[in-house]
Amino acid sequence: MTRMTAAEAAVHVLKKEGIDIAFGVPGAAINPFYSAMRKVGGVDHVLARHVEGASHMAEGYTRTKAGNIGVCIGTSGPAGTDMITGLYSATGDSIPILCITGQAPRSKLHKEDFQAVNIQAIAGPVTKWAVTVLEPAQVPRAFQQAFQLMRSSRPGPVLIDLPIDVQMSEIEFDPDTYEPLPAYKPSASRAQIEKALNLLNEADKPLLVAGGGVINSDASDLLVEFAELTGVPVVPTLMGWGTIPDDHPLMAGMVGLQTSHRYGNATMLASDFVMGIGNRWANRHTGSIEAYTKDRKFVHVDIEPTQIGRIFGPDYGIVSDAKAALELFITVAKEWQAEGKLKDRGAWAQECQERKQTLLRKTHFDDVPVKPQRVYEEMNKVFGKNVRYVTAIGLSQIAGAQFLHVYKPRHWINCGQAGPLGWTIPAALGVCRADPEAEVVALSGDYDFQFMVEELAAGAQFKLPYIHVLVNNSYLGLIRQAQRGFDMDYCVQLSFENVNCPEINDYGVDHVSVVEGLGCKALRVTKPDDIGPAFVQARQLMQEHRVPVVVEIILERVTNIAMGTDLDGVNEFEALVENVTDAPTSIASLT
């Protein structure tokens, strides 16, 4: 056997589990772990500027490629509490990340020692498992169990808290014979699949709702194959966007109160059957449950038993990993197809396509200041089908989901349930680290951008280039729009006269100077015709300097983006397309 510190054993386990990069900030109580990483080698490190930023980098890293698990590291006390937001975000979207924190010595845990906090108790509600390891010999097995838990059933994050004396204690451990534990994934039975397929086959206007679980299980190709076999149109959720390409003839559009398409909502309301696979029936997708479920039957397939019936009781539920279920769905569907048992869905699919080509929102505006719709039109023109979009929350995210196009899984990387402001920059850096050859384009409003703008320095230091589209209306735009119901515009304006930058009038923060001060490049655009050329120039700057490049676009101060409380009650505040030739970036021009 080999003697080593518990921290060294933990690093060996990380490597055996496939980890070669970590995001974090060192500190006194976690220094033994950093010493072990330095000694053992093989795990690279990106130094974040904020520990919450490190947790979101880990999220972006995980979300980029199937099988990835992001690791974030911090010291004791506030480092762990800072990472709670990242753990919450990861839990909400079923994203496995491993958070490692230092801790005060075991003898001091009950004495209110400096930066000693019960992080195990704090992190428990937002993780699959949170543990303070009190015995050095248990450290490698705690890490082994962490990886098994993160990969099993519904994926999610784990926090391991290591007292400093535990990290430094010597133990016996043989890394050469270490093996990861097998992950558990529930699988549907043939009888369950046949019953669900019977219900689908009886319907006249069925839909498939593809959730983030399809992407998590790396089953997007299977989802498309199943849709093509049955001829059933697909509605991706926000977390499932990219499971089927936007220009696929069976892609029926997104549904919901905010991040949705007019044609998607209309198709949902016209349907009589919905099979959800790997989705949660999130409230921003369903709106009023009464309106969403009226006059249609539901089958729900999900990896977590307690998700089935949580929002509403489906007509039939199946507990299964999405990939396992889809493999069996395809097997049975092929047999039924050979026997002539599957219905022809051609007329229904064509009806959905007609909506997709006509129920559109206008994007081409020549107004100055710029209307946000024009920004997304230009993004569609410049960035191709291989772009990876990263965004968080706000009117920018909502409008982006209404107007942008996504063609591949993991190419819309978005924190769906938690929606923390500031998520976008560090998550984009994690995406860049996971896929260095990708064209990564982030999208933020000015407040999301300002929340964790310091992480741009990490992008400059570690050569993580991407393009950040910053739409600036100097407002908390989504909150201002929500305040309309209270007849107020209160505490949401970010505008002020910047004495150092009079050329931006009262738009407040001089983002160009901030970005350049952090070692990155920035461009400012005020006219719609300059947006596309600025994106092209940003791409050139990014390739030349290998740093993040921010394109700030000065928007009109007040824009209301389409949203509502029910699928049949979405308010449209801007002009709609009356002729598809007026929508140069609509799906109609892509199919």
Of 13, 83, 191, the residue nearest 423 (C-alpha):
83
Cis peptide leading into 236, omega within 30 of 0? no
Q: How far is CA 2 from CA 43, 174, 480, 553, in A?
A: 20, 6, 61, 58
d(CA 535, CA 486): 38
Residue 98, strand partner residues: 71, 158
476 catalytic per annotation: yes
C-beta separation of 141 from 172 below 8 A: no
The residue behind tokens 């038993």 is 305
Longest pairwise C-alpha distance within the chain: 76
- Active-site entry in 479, 492, 514, 570: 479
d(CA 366, CA 529): 8
- Active-site entry in 11, 25, 193, 360: 25
Q: Name 104's Cβ contacts closer than 8 Å, sequence gap at least 6.
A: 29, 76, 113, 114, 115, 116, 163, 164
C-beta separation of 468 from 425 below 8 A: yes
51 catalytic per annotation: yes
Q: Name 229's Cβ contacts closer than 8 Å, sequence gap at least 6.
A: 330, 333, 334, 337, 342
- Active-site entry in 21, 51, 319, 359: 51
DSSP 442-478: EEEEHHHHHHTGGGHHHHHHTT---EEEEEE-SB-HH
| Helix, coil or strand: residue 23 | strand
Please, what is the angle between helix 51-64 and helix 424-434, to 10°?
50
- Active-site entry in 208, 476, 541, 551: 476
- Active-site entry in 149, 215, 244, 421: 421
d(CA 243, CA 410): 8
Reported as type and span, the H/E element at residue 206 is strand 206-210
Residues assigned a catalytic role:
25, 51, 421, 476, 479
